[in-house]
Chain A
């Protein structure tokens, strides 16, 4: 009788141990921030490494690789600022920050200019700067 009880107890313990190795999955829906990384010509920054850190902290809360469309899906657990680093082996990458509210909504992440607008502004600044140097050289001449 005692032997049977010990056997049943041992079996129970073995079952509990087996349960400890079982993995479960749960599917739910939530508010996620989707960050899409791409090169200037809109080619996705696909399957490249990224890390997400709470601002001013050294341990990442999420690491991984972008998907085929260059996306990072991130579910912030709280409102705050986050630092996102993404990098490829050939030295391309980004290191930028974004702020989310408690619902995971990005506060504001709009670039000031579109890319081609930026190029025009840059060229104008360079030509303007050289214009000033030209005026300076003319003033220097007797």
Chain B
């Protein structure tokens, strides 16, 4: 899902670093207050899982690939701010060490996936858990993929409007919204179903393990 280097104009990725830096700072402050030694190993395991999930591409019919992310799993079990930092860490490692995603696009990816994805997942889970916990977890996983995908499709799709030469030729990503919206959204609406299952299974497993460990 994440945007690679070279696809976004500087007019897009440079301003994105301002809100991202502010949110990283807020999240770090909050995490410093709330994080304890008991939670840390579970958070480490969930972050490592998110990293692995994002590195494992699943083929789609038509030649493209998608991947799960584990964003909702982090948001539901550790909170939005912690999930935002954990996903940002995963994205930064992928971009800096392995060339996956992009350094220039890091802030945009972190805001779309880490922040908006976590908020969407947490809100869906909180809003629906009174109805049914399993359904709430499933939908949290689904929205954690679909909301960032929508944001990324819009950001990619407006690049030809933001950055083009005198002749109107796009300088960065060449496809407009009419192409990016269906191309990005349709696969992720399907992948969201898998992410929903993963969130439900992952959270129930995590809770069971935590309960066993505490006993």
Contact = CB atoms under 8 A, between A and B. Distances in A.
A73 interface: no
A11 interface: no
A41 B174 CA distance: 26
A103 interface: no
B37 A137 contact: yes
B94 A43 contact: no
A131 B187 CA distance: 36
B65 A91 contact: no
B179 A119 contact: no
Interface residues of A, number: 37
- Most chain B CB atoms below 10 A, which of A87, A90, A92, A122: A90
Interface string B112-146: 00000000000000000000000000000000000
Interface string A32-63: 00000001110111110100000000000000
A130 B40 contact: yes
Interface residues of B, number: 42
Contacts of A122: 51-52, 55, 93-94, 97-98
B183 A89 contact: yes
B168 interface: no
A87 B173 contact: yes
A125 B55 CA distance: 15
B16 interface: no
A90 B7 contact: no
B198 to A, nearest CB: 17
Chain B residues touching A, majority SS? helix
A78 interface: no
A18 B183 CA distance: 46
Contacts of A23: none
B97 A91 contact: no
Contacts of B89: 126, 129
B93 A41 contact: no
Given A91-B183, A121-B97, A134 B47 contact: no
A121 B48 CA distance: 11
B55 A93 contact: no
A90 B90 CA distance: 22
B22 interface: no
Given A122-B97, A134-B41, A91 B180 contact: yes
Given A49-B174, A123-B48, A134 B40 contact: yes
Interface string A85-120: 101111111110000000000000000010100110
- Most chain B CB atoms below 10 A, which of A46, A92, A131: A92
Interface of B: 1, 3-7, 35-37, 40-41, 43-44, 47-48, 51-52, 55-59, 63-65, 89-90, 93-94, 97-98, 152-153, 156, 173-175, 179-180, 183-184, 187
Interface of A: 39-41, 43-47, 49, 85, 87-95, 113, 115, 118-119, 121-123, 125-127, 129-131, 133-134, 137-138, 141
23 contacts: A39-B57, A39-B59, A41-B65, A44-B63, A46-B63, A47-B63, A49-B174, A91-B1, A91-B153, A91-B173, A91-B180, A92-B64, A119-B51, A121-B97, A122-B55, A122-B93, A122-B94, A123-B52, A126-B93, A131-B44, A134-B41, A137-B36, A141-B37
